[in-house]
Chains A and B, each alone.
Chain A
Amino acid sequence: MRVLGISGSLRRDSHNTALLRHAGELFEAEGAEFTIYDGLRELPIYDEDLDVEDPHDAVARIRAAVREADAVLFATPEYNSSIPGGLKNAVDWLSRPSLAESALRSKPVAVIGASTGAFGAVWAQAELRKVLGASGARVVEGEVAVGHAMDRFDEDRRLSDESLESQVRDVTRALLAETQPQQPVQLAA
């Protein structure tokens, strides 16, 4: 089982990337592989003229990474009550040129988030769930809102709050459960 982590914050000491790393430990404890995607900043701004058969390397790379993953965990900060432009740009590239070809189509995804404010990016998380659903993804219920993020990680950049860790574990397990094969409903005889 391969899970990809995508952080909406690009800075080196990002709280959201730290949150993803902590989630990664929890995935690995469940026997899954976890990788954090690091190529968001290389993506050009979405332009349909660039969305051609042989797109920019960064576009091909993120589409392949998402297609090859069994599930994707997003961690988002909140900018101006919404998701960062770079993260939305990545979702736009993943979901186009058509929904039928979306790299996110039926992909199990979950969203968590951290912010230095009190509310832990809850608006951004709600926005991102909406955007992912519209992109064809299978959005797993569950939210982890890490507010006052500057006080929630220890010296090793691990979550220091057991309650939050437990919430992250619940989301990782819910996401892994969605990757299990489901029996399609059969037509009554």
Chain B
Amino acid sequence: MSTTETQAVPAGTWAVDKVHSSVGFSVAYMAGTFTGTFGDFDAAVTDGRLRGSAKVASVQVKDPNLEAHLQSPEFFDAERHPELTFESSSIERDGDEVKIDGEITIQGHTEPVQIMGQISDPIADPYGGDRFGLKLEAVIARDGFGMSWNNPLPSGEPALSNEVTITADLQLSKQG
């Protein structure tokens, strides 16, 4: 653990408050943006390292048929790869801004990723504990994770962007 890491996020173990946090994705689709969330996820900061995961089967969009398609082998392949995971290798902080380098694994493919975001300092919560916040965003190229499905528009351009933004809005509660 480097000195930078210990200064970047609070020391000790912090577990995600799942009720007051969210993990999701957004991707440009046709003339707008398509978004989804993962209902079942986990995250923790331990000794300056961030780890997170989300259950693919908990993907939530506004159509059950589309949820099933997202879980199929054309996308996340829930049967063989039930989770997507992230683990940080370094966290740098400058004021309220954080830059987190690490590796993300989706559909069995692991790729380096850089996450940008904001951090808040720990506050005392009404339940006698301490918590801090991380609001994170990373852009990945989905074809690097075996997800190259598309549908051409009449213009011949692809309907679905290859770039996907993964977002995590986390409240982390002090443990122990």
- B73/A133 in contact, CB under 8 A: yes
Bound CA–CA A106/B68 (angstroms): 11
Which of B26-34, B80-88, B164-172 contacts its partner? B80-88
| Complex interface: chain A residues within 8 A of B69 (CB) | 99, 134, 136
- B79/A106 in contact, CB under 8 A: yes
Task: Give how many A-B residue pairs fall within 8 Å (CB-CB).
Answer: 51
B87 contact from A139, A182, A185, A188, Cβ within 8 A: A188
Interface assignment of A137: CB less than 8 Å from any CB of chain B: yes
- Residues of A contacting B: mostly: loop
A182-B80, A185-B81, A187-B83 known; A98-B68 Cβ under 8 A: yes
Interface assignment of B51: CB less than 8 Å from any CB of chain A: yes
- B68/A136 in contact, CB under 8 A: yes
| Complex interface: chain A residues within 8 A of B108 (CB) | 185
- Which residue of chain A has its CB nearest to the CB of B79? A106
- B80/A184 in contact, CB under 8 A: yes
- A residues 133-189 near B (Cβ < 8 Å) are 133-134, 136-139, 182, 184-185, 187-188
Bound CA–CA A119/B28 (angstroms): 36
B residues with a Cβ closer than 8 A to A are: 51, 53, 64-65, 67-69, 72-74, 77, 79-83, 85, 87, 105, 108, 149
A residues with a Cβ closer than 8 A to B are: 98-100, 102, 105-106, 133-134, 136-139, 182, 184-185, 187-188
25 A–B contacts from the bound complex (CB under 8 Å): A98-B68, A99-B64, A99-B65, A99-B68, A99-B69, A100-B64, A100-B65, A100-B67, A100-B68, A102-B68, A106-B72, A106-B79, A133-B72, A133-B73, A134-B69, A134-B74, A136-B68, A136-B69, A138-B73, A138-B77, A182-B80, A184-B82, A185-B83, A187-B53, A188-B87
